[in-house]
Structure 1
Amino acid sequence: MTHQLKSRDIIALGFMTFALFVGAGNIIFPPMVGLQAGEHVWTAAIGFLITAVGLPVLTVVALAKVGGGQWCYSYPWRKSAAA
């Protein structure tokens, strides 16, 4: 069974994904980190890219792979935790 998304749902998902990756923290925080890092600016940039870009992308891919939300993703752990 395939589920067809409505245009309204696609727009809402687009805004949600945009807000996930380009929130106010991702606009304000990187220059502050770069300033405070001093000569270690590239180490700070790599750490920021891993945590602010890499982890959200990994989350979106994982949720898309299981085909649902947090309940589909956490099902194996919920089953073993209840035992």
Structure 2
Amino acid sequence: MLKIRQSVGRTGICYDNAMAESFFAALKNERVHRTEYPTLMHARQDIADCIEFRYNTLRLHSGLGYKTSREIHVEYLNGMQAA
């Protein structure tokens, strides 16, 4: 349905999930723990909006060379067209 795959990193290798752990920590600290949601649907919509319109377009990431996720995605797509 959502086509999400569980991590298949080796035991004892902490770097495999470091970026995902960092993302979820930031999402919880910056949004979820600071917001009261009346329903699960409100929570899902707010979190999706936060990811799509703030996290992907405004937040700079040191692991991406201080670029946004959107900038990296556009660079990737442009590279695919050039190939």
Measured against the shorter chain, the TM-score band is 0.3 to 0.5
TM-score of the superposed pair, with normalisation by structure 1 = 0.35
TM-score of the superposed pair, with normalisation by structure 2 = 0.35
Larger radius of gyration: 1
RCO greater where, 1 or 2, for CA within 8 Å and sep 6 or more? Answer: 1
